[in-house]
Amino acid sequence: QVQLVESGGGLVQAGGSLRLSCTASGRTFRTYDMGWFRQAPGKEREFAAAIRWSGDSTLYADSVKGRFTISRDNAKNTVYLQMNSLKPEDAAVYYCAAKLSGGVLTTTFYPYWGQGTQVTVSS
């Protein structure tokens, strides 16, 4: 099992940038695909981005493509989400998630979750 802790959320003006980090416990981080999801008030949690255990494959939701970049550093057990050109509609609690890699990167069935970090975007 893996424990996940997110950080880096905060308040930013529209058009600004933030970088979220998620650090995982354990020595098997490199066997997990990692994802970022978000949940705005009154809405369902939605997929934002994912990265394969090796870092050689990524997926993005259409709503963030071209503005967000997911990356990972397996030596530091950390996955990042660089968020640029932020919009008010990006405001949400952002969650880091993990799943044992099954080969093909997917946007669903992530069993391990962090507690979330709040991102607020002012217009």
36 and 94 Cβ atoms separated by less than 8 Å: yes
DSSP string, 78-121: EEEEEE-S--GGG-EEEEEEEEE--SS--SS---EE---EEEEE
Condensed to tens digits (0 to 9), the pLDDT of residues 72-116 reads 999 999 999 999 999 999 999 999 999 999 888 999 999 999 999
What pLDDT score does 102 carry?
A: 86
Cβ neighbours, 10 Å, residue 41 = 7
Condensed to tens digits (0 to 9), the pLDDT of residues 33-59 reads 999 999 999 999 999 999 999 999 999
Give me the sign of the Cα torsion angle 123, 19, 5, 111.
positive
CA distance 47 to 56: 19
Beta bridge partners of 118: 93
What pLDDT score does 104 carry?
A: 87
20 and 7 Cβ atoms separated by less than 8 Å: yes
